[in-house]
Amino acid sequence: MTNFVPTPSVPAPDIVRCAYLELVVTDLAKSRAFYVDLLGLHVTEEDENAIYLRSFEEFIHHNLVLRKGPVAAAAAFAYRVKSPAEVDAAEAYYKELGCRTERRKDGFTKGVGDSVRVEDPLGFPYEFFYDVEHVERLTQRYDLYSAGELVRLDHFNQVTPDVPRGRKYLEDLGFRVSEDIKDSDGVTYAAWMHRKQTVHDTALTGGNGPRLHHIAFSTHEKHNIIQICDKMGALRISDRIERGPGRHGVSNAFYLYILDPDGHRVEIYTQDYYTGDPDNPTVTWDVHDNQRRDWWGNPVVPSWYTEASLVLDLDGNPQPVIERTDASEMAVTVGADGFSYTRKEEDGSAGEKTGFKLGAQV
- Give the range of 118-126, 155-163, 230-238, 336-344 binding Fe ion by CB under 5 A: 155-163
Question: Would you say 61 or 293 has its CB closer to Fe ion?
Answer: 293
What burial letters (b/e) apply to 92-123, b meaning 16+ CB within 10 Å? bbbeebebebeeeeebbbbbbebbbbbbbbbb
Are 328 and 305 in contact, with CB atoms under 8 Å apart?
yes
- Binders of Fe ion among residues 187 to 246 (CB under 5 A) are 216
Question: Would you say 91 or 267 has its CB closer to Fe ion?
Answer: 267
202-206 and 152-160 beta bridge pairing: parallel
Instruction: Give least dist CB 81 to Fe ion, A.
Output: 23
Among 267, 272, 294, 329, binds Fe ion (CB under 5 A): 267
Are 242 and 265 in contact, with CB atoms under 8 Å apart?
yes
Among 101, 115, 157, 158, binds Fe ion (CB under 5 A): 157
- Give the range of 153-161, 187-195, 293-301, 313-321 binding Fe ion by CB under 5 A: 153-161
Instruction: Give least dist CB 267 to Fe ion, A.
Output: 4
- Residue 253 near Fe ion by CB under 5 A: no
**Residue 98, phi-psi category: left (phi > 0), alpha (psi -120 to 50), beta (remainder):** left
Residues in a beta bridge with 101: 118
- Give the range of 96-104, 171-179, 258-266, 267-275 binding Fe ion by CB under 5 A: 267-275
Are 211 and 310 in contact, with CB atoms under 8 Å apart?
yes
Instruction: Give least dist CB 157 to Fe ion, A.
Output: 5
The binding track of 10-49 with respect to Fe ion, each residue x by CB under 5 A or -, is: ----------------------------------------
**C-alpha span between 88 and 14 (Å, rounded):** 11
Instruction: Give least dist CB 69 to Fe ion, A.
Output: 24
The conformation of residue 284, written as its DSSP 8-state character, comes to E
DSSP class per residue in 45-60? EE-SSEEEEE-TT--B
Instruction: Give least dist CB 155 to Fe ion, A.
Output: 6
- Residue 290 near Fe ion by CB under 5 A: no
In the complex, which residues of this chain contact Fe ion (CB under 5 A)?
157, 216, 267
